[in-house]
C-alpha cells in the first residue's frame, strides 16, 4: 500500500490565476478604501519613478515617403545621398563635436534615469506591499539595495549595447550599400536577415531578464536586504525548482498585458480621447494609470508569495495565503 503524503507537507501548488483576484483586491485596498486624491498623487510619484524611462516608446511607424520605383527615383535618391555626404564632409568640424555631445548627454540621462528608476522600484513596491503612501522613508530605507540594482542594470545595459550595436550595424550597412547600388545583393540580404533574427532573439532574452529582475529579484532584495547578484542567485533556485510555473507566469503576463491594453483603449475611447491626452503628460498619466500599475506590481508579488512565507512581502494580516507570522527577518517588516 502506497502511503499518502500528509497535506501539510506537500509542496505548495503554484497558480497563475489565484494571484489575479488577490491583486485586484490589493488595488481596491490601496487605491479605493478609502479613495484619497492626495494619496493617489503620492503613490503616483512612486509609480512614476518606478517606470521612469520605461514608457513613451515611439511607435515606429510609417515615415511616409513610399518607395520609388520610377526611373528617376533611384538616381535622385543617390544624388541626395551624395549631397548629404559632401555636406557632412565639409562641415564635420562642428557636426562631429555636436554628435559626441548628444551621445554623451544621452548616456548621462540614461545613467540618471536608471538610478532614479532603480530607487523608485523599491518605493513603489513598499507602497503597494504595505499599503502606505510614502516616498521619503522608503527612498532612504532602500538606498543600498536600490544602488545595487542600479549598478547591475548599468552593467546589463552596457552588455546589451555591446551585443546589439554590432547586430544593428550588420543590418544597416548591407541595406545601405544595396540602396546606393540601386539593386539587391544576395549576400547582403542573407547577412541583414540573419542579423535581424539574431537581434530579435537577443532583444527577447534581455526583455526576459528585465522582467525577472523587476518582478522577482527586486522583491527578494526588498525582503532580504541583499545585493542584486545574491537576489539573482536565490531566484535561480526557484527557477530551477519550478520552471513550468514561471513559463505559465510569462504566458499569463502576455494575456494580462493585452487585457490591460484593451481596458486602457476602452477608457480612452469612452472619454473621446480626453483620457489619452492626459495620459501623455508624464506624471499625470502615471497617476491615471495607477490601477493598472498597482495591479501589475501586486500580481507578481502575490505569485511570488506562493513559494512560501519567506517570499511573502505582505504583512501577515494582509496575506491571504499564510496566516502565520514570519520571523521578522525581512526588510519590509522591520
CA dist 295 and 26 (Å) reads 7
DSSP string, 44-77: HHHHHHHTTTTS--------S-----STTHHHHH
Task: Say if residue 199's pLDDT is above 90.
Answer: yes
| H helix or E strand, kind and range, residue 230 | helix 228-241
CA dist 146 and 140 (Å) reads 10
Mean pLDDT of 143-151: 96
Three cell numbers, residue 254: 502576455
Q: Give residue 271's pLDDT.
A: 82
> Do residues 220 and 226 make contact, with C-beta atoms less than 8 angstroms apart?
yes
Q: Give residue 329's pLDDT.
A: 39
CA dist 171 and 194 (Å) reads 8
CA dist 148 and 123 (Å) reads 15
Task: Say if residue 327's pLDDT is above 70.
Answer: no
pTM for the whole thing? 0.81
Q: Give residue 321's pLDDT.
A: 44
Lowest mean pLDDT among 31-40, 67-76, 130-139, 267-276: 67-76
Q: Give residue 180's pLDDT.
A: 72
Mean pLDDT of 113-119: 95
- CA angle (123, 126, 129) in 5-degree steps: 150
- Mean pLDDT over each residue of the chain, to the nearest integer: 84
Three cell numbers, residue 192: 541583414
Task: Say if residue 217's pLDDT is above 80.
Answer: yes
Q: Give residue 229's pLDDT.
A: 95
> Do residues 311 and 304 make contact, with C-beta atoms less than 8 angstroms apart?
yes
Burial call 164-192: b when 16+ CB within 10 Å, e when fewer: eeebeebbeebbeeeeeeeeeeeebeebb
Mean pLDDT of 90-98: 82
pLDDT band at 250 (very low <50, low <70, confident <90, very high): very high
| H helix or E strand, kind and range, residue 81 | helix 73-130
CA dist 261 and 238 (Å) reads 30
Mean pLDDT of 97-115: 92
Q: Give residue 77's pLDDT.
A: 63
Task: Say if residue 266's pLDDT is above 60.
Answer: yes
Q: Give residue 57's pLDDT.
A: 36
Q: Give residue 69's pLDDT.
A: 44
Task: Identify the CA nearest to 22 among candidates 329, 321, 248.
Answer: 321
Give the whole-number percent of the chain exceeding pLDDT 90.
60
Task: Say if residue 318's pLDDT is above 60.
Answer: no
- Three-class secondary structure of residue 227 per DSSP: coil
CA dist 133 and 326 (Å) reads 24
Q: Give residue 75's pLDDT.
A: 60
Three cell numbers, residue 327: 520571523
Lowest mean pLDDT among 60-69, 184-193, 303-312: 60-69
Q: What are 52-77's pLDDT values in tens digits?
A: 887 543 333 343 444 444 444 456 66
Show Cβ contacts of residue 114 under 8 Å, excluding neighbours closer than 6 positions: 53, 150, 153, 154, 157
Task: Identify the CA nearest to 173 among candidates 158, 163, 187, 159.
Answer: 187
When comparing pLDDT for 174 and 30, which is higher? 30
Q: Give residue 279's pLDDT.
A: 82
Task: Say if residue 237's pLDDT is above 80.
Answer: yes
Q: Give residue 53's pLDDT.
A: 80
Amino acid at each position: 500500500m502506497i502511503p499518502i503524503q500528509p497535506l501539510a507537507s506537500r509542496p505548495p501548488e503554484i497558480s497563475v490565476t489565484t494571484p489575479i483576484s488577490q491583486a485586484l483586491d490589493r488595488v481596491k485596498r490601496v487605491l479605493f478604501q478609502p479613495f484619497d486624491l492626495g494619496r493617489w498623487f503620492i503613490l503616483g510619484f512612486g509609480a512614476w519613478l518606478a517606470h521612469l524611462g520605461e514608457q513613451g516608446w515611439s511607435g515606429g511607424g510609417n515615415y511616409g515617403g513610399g518607395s520609388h520605383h520610377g526611373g528617376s527615383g533611384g538616381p535622385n535618391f543617390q544624388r541626395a545621398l551624395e549631397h548629404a555626404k559632401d555636406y557632412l564632409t565639409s562641415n564635420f568640424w562642428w557636426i562631429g563635436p555636436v554628435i559626441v555631445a548628444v551621445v554623451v548627454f544621452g548616456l548621462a540621462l540614461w545613467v540618471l534615469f536608471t538610478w532614479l528608476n532603480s530607487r523608485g522600484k523599491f518605493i513603489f513596491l513598499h507602497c503597494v506591499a504595505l499599503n502606505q503612501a510614502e516616498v521619503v522613508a522608503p527612498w532612504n530605507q532602500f538606498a543600498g539595495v536600490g544602488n545595487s540594482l542600479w549598478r547591475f542594470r548599468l552593467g546589463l545595459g552596457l552588455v546589451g549595447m555591446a551585443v546589439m550595436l554590432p547586430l544593428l550595424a550588420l543590418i544597416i550597412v548591407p541595406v545601405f550599400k544595396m540602396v546606393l547600388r540601386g539593386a539587391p545583393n544576395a549576400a547582403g540580404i542573407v547577412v541583414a536577415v540573419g542579423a535581424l533574427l539574431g537581434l530579435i532573439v537577443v532583444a527577447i532574452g534581455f526583455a526576459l531578464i528585465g522582467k525577472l529582475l523587476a518582478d522577482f529579484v527586486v522583491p527578494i532584495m526588498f525582503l532580504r536586504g541583499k545585493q542584486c547578484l545574491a537576489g539573482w542567485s536565490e531566484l535561480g533556485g526557484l527557477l530551477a525548482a519550478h520552471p513550468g510555473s514561471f513559463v505559465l507566469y510569462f504566458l499569463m503576463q502576455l494575456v494580462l498585458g493585452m487585457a490591460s491594453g484593451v481596458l486602457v483603449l476602452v477608457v480612452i475611447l469612452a472619454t473621446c480621447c480626453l483620457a489619452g491626452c492626459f495620459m501623455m503628460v508624464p506624471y499625470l498619466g502615471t497617476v491615471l494609470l495607477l490601477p493598472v500599475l498597482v495591479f501589475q506590481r501586486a500580481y507578481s508579488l502575490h505569485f511570488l508569495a506562493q513559494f512560501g512565507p519567506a517570499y511573502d512581502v505582505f504583512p501577515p494580516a494582509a496575506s491571504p495565503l499564510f496566516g502565520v507570522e514570519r520571523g521578522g527577518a525581512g526588510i519590509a517588516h522591520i
